[in-house]
Amino acid sequence: MKKNKISKNWIIKQKRDIYVKQSKIEGYRSRAVYKLQEIDDKFKIFKNGISVLDLGAAPGSWSQFIAKKVKNGKILSIDLKEMDNIENICQIKGDFKENKNQQIIKKYFGGEVDIVLSDMAVNTSGNKNLDSIVTGELSMEAIYFAKEILKSDGKFVSKFFMGSTFKEIVSEAKKYFKETNIFKPLASRKNSKETFIICKLLRKYYK
C-alpha cells in the first residue's frame, strides 16, 4: 500500500477510535495512556512516593498518567523528541542508549529506582518484521538498563512487537526477573503486533 494511502487510513481510524476521543476529553496527549491504565489496573504497579523512569515518553500521555497516580514521587521521562512540560516530571531530550544520558538518569535518581517503563518504538517503516526487530532491540536495551538501576523488588514494563525477537525478549526477561507476564491491553489495536511484558522482582544474583 502506498504511503499516502496508509496515512489516509490512519487518519480515518483515528477519528473513529474511542480511545482517541476519550483521551481528548480527559486531556491526555495520546490514546497510549489507556494501555498503561489497563496495565496498572491489572498489575498494580503505581503507588505514592516511588521513583519512575519513563523511556520513550513523548508526546507524554504515560508521564501525565504517572504524574497523577504517583504523589510525592520522583519521575524522569526521556525521549528523542521534544516534549511539552508536565508538572512534577523531570524531562530529558535524547537517546536513552547514550552513556551520557544514562549517567544523567542515574545521577537524577541518586540510587535505585522502583519502576522502569518503556513504550519506546522506532518510526514505523511499513515493514512489520523490520519494525518488530528494531523495537525488539530497544526493549532488550531497556531490560539491560533496567536490571542495572532497579531495586530488587522493582518493576519493569516494556512494549515490544510479536515477531522474531519475542522468544529472546521473554527468555532474557525470565533470566533477570522472578515474575514475567505478557499482556495485550484492549486499548492496543487488534491488528497491531504490539504487546507488553510486565516483570517484577529482580533475581538476587543480578543485584
Ligand X SMILES: C[S@@+](CC[C@H](N)C(=O)[O-])C[C@H]1O[C@@H](n2cnc3c(N)ncnc32)[C@H](O)[C@@H]1O
Among 39, 45, 67, 78, binds ligand X (CB under 6 A): 78
Q: In Å, what is the CA distance from 160 to each residue of 124, 128, 167, 204?
A: 13, 12, 11, 25
160: contact with ligand X by CB under 6 A: no
Decide if 159 is catalytic. yes
Phi/psi-derived region of residue 60, left when phi > 0, alpha when psi is between -120 and 50, beta in every other case: left
Q: How far is it, in rounded angstroms, from Cα 29 to Cα 134? A: 25
Identified catalytic residue from 35, 74, 155, 159: 159
Which residue's beta carbon is nearest to the bound ligand X? 56
Among 120, 142, 143, 202, binds ligand X (CB under 6 A): 120
115: contact with ligand X by CB under 6 A: no
Contacts of ligand X in 11-70 (CB under 6 A):
29-30, 32-33, 56-62
| Minimal distance, residue 205 CB to ligand X, in Å | 28
User: Prior bond to 185 cis, omega within 30?
Assistant: no
**Strands 150-161 and 194-202, how do they pair?**
antiparallel
Chain positions contacting ligand X, by CB under 6 A: 29-30, 32-33, 56-62, 78-81, 95-97, 119-122, 138
